[in-house]
Amino acid sequence: MNITSVEITGKTLTIEEVMAVAQNKAIVQPLGQETRKRMEASQQWLNKAIHEKNQTFYGINTGFGSHADDVIDPDQAGQLSRNVILADVTGIGNPLPQEIVRAMMVVRANTISTGHS
């Protein structure tokens, strides 16, 4: 089976599709309308919970570890997320092989597209 294109839905990704993206550079299609709607609904729910209901969610609008009780202003939550990524962009040793990175990215994209992240 020669897979040349993969659709990310958060529900149907197979190991064969991951391998096709990783090893054969199969094309990952733009997200479909249903997947986008599910992700947008999740984002809207979270925004309402944080901005209107003043709910806190670990690592989204709180600090981490010993700073978990530190609540971050809702308007700064996006900056917190960016700072977490920037804090983790360093590494030791050789870069990972491209096919490993491609596999990791397609799996992560699939997880995010479930609408629960």
> What's the CA gap between 113 and 107, in Å, rounded?
10
CB atoms within 10 A of CB 77: 20
> What's the CA gap between 110 and 26, in Å, rounded?
15
Q: Is 19 a catalytic residue?
A: no
Exactly one of 57, 58, 82, 100 is catalytic; name it.
58
Residues marked as catalytic: 58
